Amino acid sequence: DEAAESEVQKVRDRFKKLMESHFRKIAVELEEEDLFLYHRAYTWGVQEYVEALTYFNYVTTGELVGWEEVAENCSFDVSKPKVDGDSTEAEPQQIKLHIPLSDYILGIQDMTGEMMRLCITTLGKGNLQRAQAACNFVKYVFAALHILQSCHNEFYKKLEVAGQSLGKMEYGCYLANIQGLEMKSQ
């Protein structure tokens, strides 16, 4: 549908604008700095970005964006002045904003809450198949997260919340299945 594709393109454009207006500035400012000295200043923004990007990607493709792809999106072309004798030239360069794996994982954990809302809303509209697909997706993500070990203090808190979201999704899908069976038998 043309209207839906137009909306998808608007969201993609907003992601690009966000990358250029915020993440590029951070990458330029932190170039040649110890990133982990400043990590706490931008970690929440990265987690929110990962949450939004992974949710958007699920809605449009049904798949999870990988850490490598997120990191690749944080590469920027910049021009640096090159002083060479008497002339000053702009030299093209590429800089990257380091995306720690922990920020990616924490963003995915946050995304499970959005997936729970999608599932429940979809159930309310009567689309059990789409809700079940969202539930299964979160089930696989949660299983993968559950086997990870992390020393990040937020990891286990967010893992617990992800488990609660999954429980709500499973319960909603279960009730919808039972109600559907009852409706068919009457």
Binding residues: 51, 114
Binding residues for Mg(2+): 51, 114
Distance between CA 90 and CA 30 in Å, rounded? 20
- Strand, coil or helix: 80: strand
Distance between CA 45 and CA 35 in Å, rounded? 15
Sequence length of the chain is 186
Sequence-distant (6+) residues with CB within 8 A of 105 are 145, 148, 150, 152, 155
61-64 contacts, C-beta under 8 A, 24 or more apart:
62/133, 62/137, 64/108, 64/137, 64/141
